[in-house]
Structure 1
């Protein structure tokens, strides 16, 4: 009877041991399934990650392509703007060159105009003149009228010249031309045989300007007028005074010859 309990205990142990043996492959299979599932899950995650990365790369590539296209369009627009600027710059250079030419021409015209104005103004401004060795300041009108009267005399129009010189003396009584104007007026009157008037102008010259270059000739002309008027005594005295006052003059040499002929 004692043997049965022991067998019964041994059998229980054997059953437990057998159950453990039988249970081991089942747990191993269970473990292998879990690892496979984890591997599958990780693989799926990797695939998902890879797909997401590919999708992001595709998006980035697409955006990069769009950016490149946009950049190309921007570059084309910029190139067009640069070319337009080159054209505008060329136009501006042409306009600047034309403007420079216009300014140069304007400056030339202004210079010529200024010179012309100055020349015209000089015609109305007093200036220094030298007549018969005498230097003085004369108004343009004085110079013009005197030269015109002298030109008339030299053309042989003695009556017109006498009128012109007489008018000059009335208009410019204080002019530096007066001594010369009286000399030529006397000569014009002598040429028209107005001897008395001629003598009066020659004497006026000697009285107002005895040291004038024309004074010796004026004295000789007085003697000539006196001889034309048959005033021989007065002519002789005039010639003698001429020789005494202006001994070195050509008129004095001529006076000596005439005095010799009068004896």
Structure 2
């Protein structure tokens, strides 16, 4: 081979080698570039998704905070309505007792909503045997009128006045909406004065103290004691009515129906019978 042909041959070989290297390296470079582009896209997508999730989380936190505030406001409104309902219940119950007993004088019915003060007239006059000849004005029993022309008997009249004061204090506590204190006061009254003419009334209002706070398990036996232990009490129709109400609230509909029908049968033409019929219509 001549000296001229040899360099040409070497140059051709170098060109061929370069072409071969270029052909083999191009797919590698292309793949690397593709991977880099994919990585950049993934990073962008991940960043966008993360921002979206963060925005959604912040929105949800704000909504939860708003809902919590609304729930707290609704709870306060519910509590206020419950208190109003209890006070209205006591007012209506006391006034119905007054109307049923036909008593237009004496103490005022419990209003609980800004009404007049004093024990209910139904309770001030409605003793268990109807034989109380002592009339008291106000809530503290300062004025008494006995059978001796207004001259008080310093023995028995004094005891009756003390009993009346205990009863009035318990009833005023109930009317003020301090139901737990009222329950304790009436419990103490029936323990201290089990033979008092006001014992049946106190037992009834003890049941009411539990009923208005929906402690039906505690209220039921107190109303039942009025039925079982005070056969002459004028609170028996109302106690039996409340027994029906308690069963109704507890979902014991058959027992509620039995009690309410008994009110109508045993005490017809009374307010309690009318209320019993209204509740029966709901069963």
Question: Which protein shows a greater Rg?
Answer: 1
More helix by share: 1
Query: Which structure is higher in RCO with an 8 Å CA cutoff and minimum separation 6?
Result: 2
Q: Please classify the TM superposition score into its range, dividing by the shorter chain length.
A: 0.3 to 0.5
TM-score w.r.t. structure 1 length? 0.48
